[in-house]
Structure 1
Amino acid sequence: MPPAHVRFECPDCGIPVSCSEQHFVSDYENHLEVCDILREINEDDHDLVSGRFFSEFEYPGPQMEEAQVNMTNWDTLMYSREFTAVDDERRMRQVTRLLTYPITIGSVLHELSPYGLKDRLTPEGLRSLSALRYTLHPPKSGAGMDMKGIRPLAPPVRLFILGARAESSLPREVWIQLSYLFPQSTFHLIFIGPESMSNRDAEFPLPERTPSNPFGAIVEDRGLGGRVKISTYVEYFHTLHQAQHFYPYDPYFDAFVLFHPGLGHPASSHEWAETLPQLLETKVPIICTGYTEFDMQRDIDWVTKEARGEMDLLLQPGENRFRSLRWDLNDLDPGDVSCGNWGVWGFRGKRYETDEYRGREEQQ
Structure 2
Amino acid sequence: MKRVSLLPLLLVTLLFPFFTAEASAAPKKAVVRVITWSGYAPQELLDAFTTETGYPVEVTLSNNEEMISKLRATRGGGFDLAQPSQDRISSVVEQYGLYQAIDFSRIDEGQIDPSLLKAVKENTLVKGQSYAVPHVYGTEGLVVNRAKAPDIKDFKDLLDPKYAGRVSYRLKRPTLIGMGFSLGHNPFALYGDKGAYQKFLDAMETTLIGAKPSVKTYWDNGDQLLQLLRSGEVWAASAWEQAGWKLHGENPDIDYIAPESGALGWVDTFAIPARAENLDGAYAYINFMLRPENAAFFTNRETYGTASKEAVNFLDPEIKANFTRGLPPEVLAKVNWYPPVPSGIEELEGRTLDKIKAAR
TM-score by length of 2: 0.27
Higher relative contact order (CA 8 A, sep 6+): 2
Structure with more of its chain in helix, by fraction: 2
TM-score by length of 1: 0.26
